[in-house]
C-alpha cells in the first residue's frame, strides 16, 4: 500500500474519534468568537421588530426531538424577541412531537417571570394538531370552528386572546420552525398564497437552499437558517444560549471536516499521478 493509498483509507473509527474530540474540547473550553449576522436572520428580526405592540403572531412548532438541538434555540430566541416586543402569540404544533417541545422551550423563555406576560391573555398554546397542511388551513381559516380547547383542556371561549381572533386577517404574522419540507412549504401555500399573510420560517440549514426561492420571491419575509440563524437571533436579542456556545464547536468540527476533505483530495490526486508516473 503506497503512502497515498494509506492517506485515502484512514479507518472510519479514527476519523470519527477525531471528530468527537473536536466537539468535546471547545464545548469545555470555548474560544468566544464573534458572530456575523446574516441577512436572512436580520430580515426575520426586522419583520418582527416592525410589528406594532399587541399584534397577534401565529407561531408553529413544527419539529420534534430530532430538530430540537438546532430549532429549540431558534424558538427560544425568537420568542424572547416577541415577548419583549409585547406581541401576543398563538402557539401551535404541526409536528407530532411538537407539543413535547413546548414545555422545554418555555422553561427557558419564562414569559411570566421575564416579561410579565400572562397565559391566555398574551399567549396561548393549542397543542399538536394533526394533518399538517389541513391543520394549518383549518386554524387560519376559522380557528373557532377548528379548535375547541387549548393544550391544557381550557375551553377556548374562556381564553381572551383567542376571542380577539376573528379570521385570518387577525394574524399580523405567521412564524414557523420546522424540520419537515412539507410543513415548510405548507405554511407558504396556506398562509402566504391563501391569505397573503406575512410569513417567516426557520428550518434546518440543509433545507435552506431548496426553500430560499420563496424568500427571493417575497413569500418568506425572513429565514432562520438552522443553528446559524439561532446564534444570530441570540446575538440580536441579547439572550446568549446554546446556539452561541455551539458556534465555537462548529468552528472546530467544520475545520476538521475541511482538513479531511483536503486529505481526501491530496491522496486521490497523489495516487492518480503516481500511477500515471508508473505507467510511463
Partner 1 sequence: MGILTSGRIVAFIAFILAWIATYLGIELGKRGKVRIRRLPALDAMEEAVGRAVEMGRPVFDIIGMGTFTDIYATQTVAGLSVLNYVAHLCARLGAKLYAPQASVDVMPVAIEMVREGYLAEGKIEELNVDEQLPYLSGTQFAWASGILGMASRLKPASVIMVGPFWAESMMFAETFDRLGALEIGGTARLYQIPFFAAVCDYVLIGEETFAAGAYLSGDPLQTGSIACQDWYKIAAIILGVIGAILATAGLPWVSQLMSI
Partner 2 sequence: MVSTDVGVWIAAFFTIVATSYAFRDNIFFRFAEYTFIGAAAGHAIVMGVKNVILYGWTHIAGGEPSYWIPIILGILIYTRYHPKYYWIYRYPIAFLVGIGVGISIRGAIHADFIKQIAATAKPLIATTPLGTLNNIIVFVGTVTALTHFIFTYEGIHKGAAGWIPKIGRWMMLAAFGGAFGNTIMTRFSMYQGRIIFLLRDWLGIIH
Partner 3 sequence: MSEVVRKYIPLLITFIVGVIAVLDFYTTVPAIRGTFTVLKNWGIVVTAFALGVGAVNLFRVHGKRIAERGELWPLSGWLLFMLIVFVVVGLSTGKFDASWQYKWIYNAIMLPLGATMYSSLCFYMAIGAYKALRIRNIDSLFLFLTAIFVVLGNTPMFPAALPGFFYTREWIFKTIISGAYRGIRIGVGIGAVVLGIRTILGLERGYLGRA
Binding residues for partner 3 (CB under 8 A): 10, 12, 15-16, 19, 31, 33-36, 38-39, 64-69, 96-97, 99-100, 103-104, 127-131, 134-135, 137-138, 141-142, 145-146, 151-153, 193-194, 205, 208-210, 212-213, 216, 228, 231, 247-248, 250-251, 253-258, 260-261, 263-265, 268-269
Q: Which parts of 110-139 interact with partner 2 (CB under 8 A)?
A: 127-130, 133-134, 137
* Reduced 3-state DSSP string for 95-148: CCCHHHHHHHHHHHHCHHHHHCCCECCCEEEEEECCCCHHHHHHHHHCHHHHCC
Number of H helices, E strands in the chain: 14, 6
- Quick one: how far is CA 52 from the chain centroid? 24
Cell of 65: 426531538
Asked if 196 interacts with partner 1 (CB under 8 A), we say: yes
By CB under 8 A, tell whether 12 contacts partner 1: yes
Q: Using the rule CB under 8 A, is 272 a contact of partner 1? A: no
Q: What's the Cα-to-Cα distance from 32 to each of 27, 64, 245, 258, rounded to whole Å?
A: 11, 29, 8, 21
Whether 247 and 33 have beta carbons less than 8 Å apart is answered as yes
Stretch that binds partner 1, among 72-80, 152-160, 203-211, 248-256 (CB under 8 A): 203-211
Does residue 194 touch partner 2 according to CB under 8 A?
A: yes
Rounded-to-integer distance, Cα 67 and Cα 195, Å: 28
Q: Could you say which DSSP state residue 169 is in? A: G
Q: How far is the CB of 53 from partner 2 (least distance, A)?
A: 31
Closer to partner 2 by Cβ: residue 58 or 117:
58
Farthest-apart Cα atoms in the chain, separation: 86
Sign of the torsion angle spanned by Cα atoms 42, 72, 156, 129: positive
CB of 53 to partner 3, least distance (A): 30
- Closest contact distance (angstroms) between CB of 116 and partner 1 is 40
| In the complex, minimum distance from the CB of residue 25 to partner 2, in angstroms, rounded to a whole number | 10
What is the DSSP secondary structure assignment for residue 207, as one 8-state letter? G
160 scored as a contact of partner 1 (CB under 8 A): no
Task: Residue 247: name the closest of 267, 266, 263, 227 by CA.
Answer: 227
CB-wise, 8 or 35, nearer to partner 1? 8
Total residues interacting with partner 2, rule: CB under 8 A: 58
**Toward partner 1, which CB reaches closer, 2 or 193?**
193
By CB under 8 A, name the one of 82, 126, 165, 207 that touches partner 1.
207
**Residue 222 interacting partner from partner 1, partner 2, partner 3, none (CB closer than 5 to 8 Å by kind):** none
Contact yes or no for 105/99 (Cβ under 8 A): no
Q: How far is it, in rounded angstroms, from Cα 226 to Cα 199?
A: 17
User: CB under 8 A: which stretch of 2-10, 38-46, 164-172, 242-250 binds partner 2?
Assistant: 242-250
Interface with partner 1 (CB under 8 A): 12, 181-182, 193, 196, 206-207, 209-210
Amino acid at each position: 500500500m503506497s503512502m497515498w493509498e494509506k492517506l485515502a483509507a484512514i479507518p472510519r473509527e479514527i476519523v470519527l474519534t477525531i471528530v468527537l474530540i473536536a466537539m468535546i474540547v471547545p464545548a469545555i473550553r470555548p474560544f468566544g468568537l464573534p458572530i456575523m449576522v446574516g441577512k436572512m436572520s436580520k430580515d426575520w428580526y426586522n419583520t418582527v421588530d416592525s410589528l406594532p405592540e399587541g399584534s397577534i403572531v401565529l407561531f408553529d412548532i413544527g419539529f420534534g426531538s430530532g430538530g430540537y438541538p438546532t430549532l429549540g434555540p431558534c424558538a427560544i430566541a425568537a420568542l424572547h424577541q416577541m415577548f419583549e416586543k409585547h406581541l401576543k402569540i398563538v402557539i401551535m404544533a404541526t409536528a407530532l412531537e411538537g407539543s413535547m417541545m413546548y414545555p422545554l422551550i418555555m422553561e427557558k423563555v419564562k414569559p411570566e417571570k421575564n416579561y410579565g406576560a400572562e397565559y391566555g391573555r398574551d399567549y396561548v398554546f393549542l397543542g399538536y394538531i394533526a394533518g399538517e397542511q389541513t391543520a394549518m388551513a383549518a386554524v387560519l381559516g376559522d380557528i373557532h370552528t377548528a379548535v375547541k380547547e387549548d393544550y391544557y383542556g381550557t375551553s377556548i371561549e374562556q381564553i381572551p386572546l383567542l376571542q380577539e381572533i376573528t379570521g385570518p386577517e387577525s394574524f399580523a404574522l405567521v412564524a414557523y420552525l420546522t424540520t419537515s419540507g412539507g410543513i415548510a412549504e405548507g405554511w407558504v401555500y396556506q398562509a402566504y398564497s391563501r391569505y397573503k399573510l406575512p410569513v417567516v420560517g426557520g428550518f434546518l440549514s440543509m433545507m435552506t437552499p431548496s426553500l430560499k426561492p420563496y424568500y427571493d420571491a417575497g413569500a418568506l419575509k425572513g429565514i432562520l437558517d438552522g443553528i446559524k440563524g439561532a446564534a444570530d437571533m441570540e446575538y440580536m436579542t441579547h439572550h446568549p444560549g446554546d446556539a452561541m456556545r455551539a458556534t465555537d464547536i462548529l468552528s472546530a468540527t467544520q475545520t476538521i471536516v475541511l482538513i479531511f476533505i483536503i486529505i481526501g483530495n491530496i491522496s486521490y490526486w497523489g495516487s492518480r499521478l503516481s500511477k500515471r508516473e508508473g505507467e510511463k
